[in-house]
């Protein structure tokens, strides 16, 4: 089921390669030898011509061309179809293995919760059996704490995203004024690479935090 998406993605890339010489945007960028762009940094950064971005414009066209819209629509439809076919496949396997009537085990009560509220019980109106009872005020306080934690983590993620954006803006000028010519001439690549590494570290750190006990 993954081959159709891979095939269409390869087709979109090949379409970009074939139509590279006919891309009007990259043509205008490559031919703009008389348009002078402002320097990236205040010091040590010379003025640059718009045509210096010719390679970046061509590479961008390979992945962002007219067929990309078709690919986006296809992926939206294919994701839904893939899910439905997987449900059908799952039903077939469940029938072959005689697991149609099998149900997942109910989630057991956590020992910490049971130990704290074992003395406070009430009759379950559905099962008719006594069960640990949590007061409404206690439940609200725990809900507020949980919501505050979730809101805090959302703010951390948003702050990390804005931090990466600010880092890219500040670092590109720093790398453009670097002493080493290799980094100075490839300041955008160096900025993107370091930003990706920092973003990866943030994602891994947040994954570790989310898997801590109690989360």
Q: Do 79 and 166 lie in a common domain?
A: no
pLDDT of the residue at 107? 62
Say if 130 falls within a structural domain: yes
Q: CA-CA distance, 52 to 33, in Å (whole number)?
A: 8
**Is residue 62 domain-resident?**
yes
Whether residue 89 is found in the same domain as residue 43: yes
Query: Do both 75 and 17 map to the same domain?
Result: yes
Same domain, 66 and 137: no
In tens, the pLDDT along 95-109 reads 888 877 776 665 666
**pLDDT given at position 118:** 67
Q: Looking at the domain assignment, is residue 103 inside a domain?
A: no
Q: Residue 101 domain-assigned?
A: no
**What's the confidence (pLDDT) of residue 215?**
56
The reply to whether 88 and 169 lie within a common domain is no
Residue 108 in domain:
no
Q: What distance in Å separates the CA atoms of residue 126 and residue 109, rounded to the nearest whole number?
A: 17
Q: Which of 69, 96, 123 is the last residue of a domain?
A: 96
For residue 208, the model assigns a pLDDT of 86
DSSP conformation class of 186? T
The residue out of 44, 62, 96 marking a domain boundary is: 96
Structure tokens at 85: 């076919």
Regions of the chain with pLDDT less than 50: none
pLDDT of residue 22: 86
CB count within 10 Å of CB 109 equals: 13
Residue 68 included in any domain: yes
pLDDT, one tens digit per residue, over 12-43 is 999 999 998 888 888 888 888 888 888 766 66
Q: What was the pLDDT predicted at 10?
A: 92
Which pLDDT belongs to residue 14?
Answer: 92
Q: Identify the pLDDT of residue 95.
A: 83
69 and 119 in a common domain: no
CB 167 within 8 A of CB 198: yes
Structurally, the chain folds into a number of domains equal to: 2
The answer to whether position 102 is within a domain reads no
Are residues 151 and 84 part of one domain? no
What pLDDT, on a 0 to 100 scale, did the predictor assign at position 103?
66
Residue 109 lies in a domain: no
Domain that holds residue 127: 115-210
């Amino acid at each position: 089921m993954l081959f159709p998406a891979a095939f269409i993605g390869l087709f979109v890339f090949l379409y970009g390669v074939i139509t590279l010489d006919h891309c009007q945007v990259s043509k205008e960028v490559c031919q703009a030898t008389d348009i002078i762009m402002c320097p990236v940094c205040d010091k040590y950064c010379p003025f640059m011509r718009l045509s210096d971005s010719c390679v970046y414009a061509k590479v961008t066209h390979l992945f962002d061309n007219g067929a990309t819209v078709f690919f986006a629509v296809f992926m939206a439809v294919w994701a839904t179809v893939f899910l439905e076919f997987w449900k059908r496949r799952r039903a077939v396997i469940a029938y072959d293995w005689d697991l149609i009537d099998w149900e997942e085990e109910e989630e057991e009560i956590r020992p910490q919760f049971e130990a704290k509220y074992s003395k406070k019980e009430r009759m379950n109106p559905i099962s008719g059996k006594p069960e640990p009872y949590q007061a409404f005020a206690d439940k609200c306080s725990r809900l507020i704490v949980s919501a505050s934690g979730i809101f805090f983590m959302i703010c951390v993620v948003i702050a990390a995203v804005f931090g990466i954006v600010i880092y890219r803006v500040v670092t590109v000028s720093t790398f453009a004024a670097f002493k080493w010519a290799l980094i100075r001439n490839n300041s955008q690549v160096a900025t993107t690479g370091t930003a990706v590494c920092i973003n990866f570290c943030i994602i891994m750190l947040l994954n570790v935090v989310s898997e801590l006990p109690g989360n």
